[in-house]
């Protein structure tokens, strides 16, 4: 039997305010089509599903007009929103776990009255900043597309690529440090592999590739963790510019 909720009931069960639900209705974001005999809004199970997607996207920082456009798009699927939210939370949890580990270490050092180095404090602050910048580099549309790419590529291939990147970066760094010519056969082969992996991640979208480049350029923490510093990136770019 189908279930329906009055606006006050839905507000109580979701923790939202009646005012918020009225606002969603007013802007056409969530407008229940069914009304009671007394004229009250009645939200259906389909409305509740849409509300969950709205709240997921809102929590990820999407503005309301973009949420409406995304949910009203003919090709929209609920799984895409939930998948995107899952991915962002997983990444955020990883950052939070790293931050928690660093704060616990600082707490232990402070409790033991052990001197702290400036480098330790600076890196902890950097991790804190990273948790706040999570959504800065990709547009909502790009994030939705990347989640689609993730489903298309599959988890097995993603794990393979995660293992390939460190080896490729190490090989490219070795060539850079020995002063190899970007046009040399081996460097060109590495550059082709590099371009292929980036293309697999971005789907060949130049905008996403540019966002990825900005992220690595602007975030020292990513540079340290990945081993891709600006000098190495410049060497890689020089090699890639020579590819056909």
pLDDT digits (tens, 9 = 90+) for 192-209: 999 998 888 777 777 777
Q: Rounded distance, CA 6 to CA 14, Å? A: 12
For 24, other C-beta atoms within 10 Å of its C-beta total: 21
Residue 157 C-alpha from the chain's centroid: 19
What mean pLDDT is reported for the chain?
A: 81
**What integer is the mean pLDDT of 81-95?**
72
Fold of 5-71: Multidrug-efflux Transporter Regulator; Chain: A; Domain 2 (1.10.1660)
Q: Rounded distance, CA 148 to CA 83, Å? A: 9
Q: Rounded distance, CA 82 to CA 68, Å? A: 16
Helix, strand, or coil (residue 205): coil
Q: Rounded distance, CA 215 to CA 220, Å? A: 9
| In the predicted structure, residue 132 carries a pLDDT above the cut 60 | no
- Provide the residue ranges of all domains of the chain, joining segments of one domain with +: 5-71, 77-134, 154-244
**What integer is the mean pLDDT of 82-111?**
76
| In the predicted structure, residue 14 carries a pLDDT above the cut 60 | yes
């Amino acid at each position: 039997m189908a279930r329906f909720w009055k606006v006050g009931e839905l507000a109580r069960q979701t923790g939202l305010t009646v005012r918020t639900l009225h606002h969603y209705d007013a802007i056409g974001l969530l407008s229940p089509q069914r009304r009671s005999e007394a004229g009250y809004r009645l939200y259906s199970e389909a409305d509740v599903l849409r509300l969950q997607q709205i709240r997921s996207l809102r929590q990820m920082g999407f503005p309301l007009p973009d949420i409406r456009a995304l949910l009203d798009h003919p090709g929209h699927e609920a799984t895409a929103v939930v998948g995107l939210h899952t991915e962002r939370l997983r990444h955020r949890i990883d950052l939070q776990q790293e931050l928690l580990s660093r704060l616990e270490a600082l707490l232990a050092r402070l409790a033991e009255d052990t001197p702290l180095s400036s480098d330790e404090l600076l890196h902890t602050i950097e991790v804190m900043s990273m948790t706040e910048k999570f959504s800065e580099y990709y547009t909502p549309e790009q994030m939705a597309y990347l989640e689609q790419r993730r489903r298309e590529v599959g988890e097995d291939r993603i794990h393979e690529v995660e293992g390939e990147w460190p080896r490729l970066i190490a090989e490219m760094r070795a060539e850079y440090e020995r002063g190899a010519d970007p046009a040399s056969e081996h460097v060109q082969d590495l550059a082709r592999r590099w371009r292929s992996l980036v293309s697999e991640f971005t789907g060949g979208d130049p905008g996403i590739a540019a966002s990825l480049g900005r992220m690595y350029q602007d975030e020292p923490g990513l540079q340290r963790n990945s081993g891709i510093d600006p000098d190495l990136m410049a060497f890689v770019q020089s090699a890639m510019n020579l590819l056909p």
